[in-house]
Structure 1
């Protein structure tokens, strides 16, 4: 059937009557634009306030599921009653708790030494490249992703790692936007999403992401027993025909528009009201409440 624009989805028809809603958002590339300096990708206060209000509704279970580390997520969202998942599923923190659960504390990590050695062969030879060290993963990144040849080194590195690492250890090698990642096979966003769906048993699910690591979430949700009419998996930005998402949005500002839409629906109790734009009787997704891009990013102090 193909991926369809989310503005054509009848989201509020299923959101309104739902008693348990699971709302899942990736961070970089989904809630914020991907920028050269990740420390500058910070949500503006108006957006944070809306997310906090959305999460304060007892019907809503809102989770940020990101590749970012615990320090960043704790600093940005720790004061809010949100569920947080760091490093693609290595750590999770339930709403209202200050404790992070380590999902990989008993795993054999000897593979890291071998992966890092191979990655180091590429660091220094490719402009703007470096290694990000995480609890359950090692990531080779090319920060200057506008270089025309950025894909060459990442492709070579991925193929080199694939020849040996997965054979010796339960480690997957994946590539995404300017990255090659080696991570424990059982640590991924899909595993967390399955766990949350089993615990919460929602009757409405919205999940937005923009990269290969988010496909695990999409796949997990579509494999659940929940009626698929109540599941909205959304790929942000460019996408290929092999995505598991059913819906698409152009950019993060559209995702935030949907967050504002759901907040307004909670306040009004329905789709009626000032500012509602309808498309053949259906709410037009993120177009229902346009958001200024200047509200999305704040200056990094």
Structure 2
């Protein structure tokens, strides 16, 4: 029994079952009048806004998630007040987010914080110092294997991170493949300087 049920098998089973659990979190609602009152009295205001699924809807093709004219106007109006500092936070790459927010004095945080540009600045900073990227040579072939066996899935290669999208694949089959992929990546994560992020129909690997 002990030989058959190894620690590795237990870990795989545990991670597989963990992914089946949906955690429900209820965020208490804030009264609108309280928000308006606090806003009007504040001398400085900081807005941290998520991009995908918040400012823009989730779409089948990630490149189609462009800001609407209404959103751009709202951000323009918000940043017109010098008491407001607005930051857009996203897993997106720098080039995509720069194009979407062109002309707006907003701060940007890209690839989950690996690259950031401060409010009213055009200079980028990064957290890449000391990082090594040989892990990509190991992870990319794994993603290519799962992409080949999962019709409709695709790989997105960012400046640093690698992303596996399966939003356009068969839901049931792709979900099964995604769970297998996560277990596979978690098994090698202990030997590589990587972190596996699980999103909505997306798996992202970052240092």
Instruction: Give the TM bin, normalised by the shorter chain.
Output: 0.7 to 0.9
Counterpart selection for 2:126 from 81, 91, 102: 102
User: Match of 2:150?
Assistant: 126
Please say if residues 86 and 106 of structure 2, whose CA atoms lie closer than 8 Å, have aligned partners that are also in contact: yes
TM-score, normalization by structure 1 = 0.56
TM-score, normalization by structure 2 = 0.80
User: Match of 1:177?
Assistant: 200
Deviation at 1:76, TM superposition (A): 1.6
Q: Distance in 2 between matches of 1:54 and 1:141?
A: 33
User: Match of 1:23?
Assistant: 47
User: Match of 1:43?
Assistant: 67
User: Match of 1:164?
Assistant: 188
Deviation at 1:145, TM superposition (A): 5.3
Q: Is 1:85 aligned to residue 106 of structure 2?
A: no
Which structure 2 residues correspond to residues 107-118 of structure 1 after superposition, within 5 A?
107-118=131-142
Query: In structure 2, do the counterparts of structure 1 residues 151 and 5 end up closer, same or farther at CA, with 3 Å as the change threshold?
Result: farther
Secondary structure of 2:143's match? helix
Deviation at 1:2, TM superposition (A): 3.6
Q: Distance in 2 between matches of 1:84 and 1:178?
A: 24
Between structure 1 and structure 2, the one with the greater Rg is 2
Secondary structure of 1:23's match? strand
- 1:80-130 CA-to-partner distances (Å, cap 9, x unmatched) read 110011111111112332222122143111111111122121011102112
How many corresponding residue pairs?
Answer: 183
- 1:243-282 CA-to-partner distances (Å, cap 9, x unmatched) read xxxxxxxxxxxxxxxxxxxxxxxxxxxxxxxxxxxxxxxx
Deviation at 1:158, TM superposition (A): 0.4
Deviation at 1:3, TM superposition (A): 2.1
Counterpart selection for 1:62 from 66, 86, 89: 86
Q: Distance in 1 between matches of 2:148 and 2:101?
A: 35
Secondary structure of 1:36's match? coil
Q: Distance in 1 between matches of 2:62 and 2:145?
A: 24
Deviation at 1:48, TM superposition (A): 0.7
Q: Distance in 2 between matches of 1:122 and 1:6?
A: 43
Unaligned runs of 5+ in 2: 1-24
Secondary structure of 2:186's match? helix
Q: Distance in 2 between matches of 1:148 and 1:142?
A: 11
Q: Distance in 2 between matches of 1:106 and 1:41?
A: 33
Please say if residues 154 and 165 of structure 2, whose CA atoms lie closer than 8 Å, have aligned partners that are also in contact: yes
